[in-house]
């Protein structure tokens, strides 16, 4: 599905990047996976429809844009996302703060 001009793959993805697995009002980001350079709403979507070789972003690449705000389409760098206090730096839409519990699935910690 194209969301703000970016392809986001996954299961039942809506216009703000929510998916079958995470679909509350504040579930509105997609993460570009390091292994396949493709946006997915969550790790489960990548497991189901991805490259079958999940790899986390190394710290040396945290300056890369890899998080898509489903509300406005702003692409955050990993550093920006990890320090954004669960809201988009561009449109201020809230992100799910619970996502921080899963950061080890996407980023080197």
pLDDT digits (tens, 9 = 90+) for 69-82: 999 999 999 999 99
Q: What is the reported pLDDT for 64?
A: 98
Q: Locate tokens 């699935």: which residue? A: 105
Model confidence band, residue 29 (pLDDT cutoffs 50, 70, 90): very high
Which structure tokens are listed for 22?
A: 């995470």
Residue 81 burial class via C-beta count within 10 angstroms: exposed 0-12, middle 13-18, buried 19 and up: buried
Domain span including residue 49:
2-105
- pLDDT by residue (tens digit) across 2-26? 999 999 999 999 999 999 999 999 9
Residue 33 near residue 40, CB atoms below 8 Å: yes
**How many structural domains does the chain have?**
1
- pLDDT by residue (tens digit) across 80-98? 999 999 999 999 999 999 9
Q: What is the dihedral of CA 53, 71, 77, 54, to 10 degrees?
A: -10
């Amino acid at each position: 599905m194209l969301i703000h001009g970016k392809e986001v793959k996954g299961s039942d993805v809506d216009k703000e990047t929510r998916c079958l697995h995470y679909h509350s009002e504040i579930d509105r980001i997609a993460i570009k996976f390091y292994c396949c350079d493709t946006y997915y709403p969550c790790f489960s979507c990548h497991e189901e429809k991805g490259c079958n070789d999940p790899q986390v972003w190394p710290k040396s690449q945290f300056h890369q844009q890899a998080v898509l705000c489903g509300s406005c389409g702003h692409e955050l760098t990993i550093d920006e996302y990890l320090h954004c206090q669960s809201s988009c730096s561009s449109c201020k839409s809230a992100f799910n703060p619970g996502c921080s519990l899963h950061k080890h699935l996407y980023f080197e910690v």
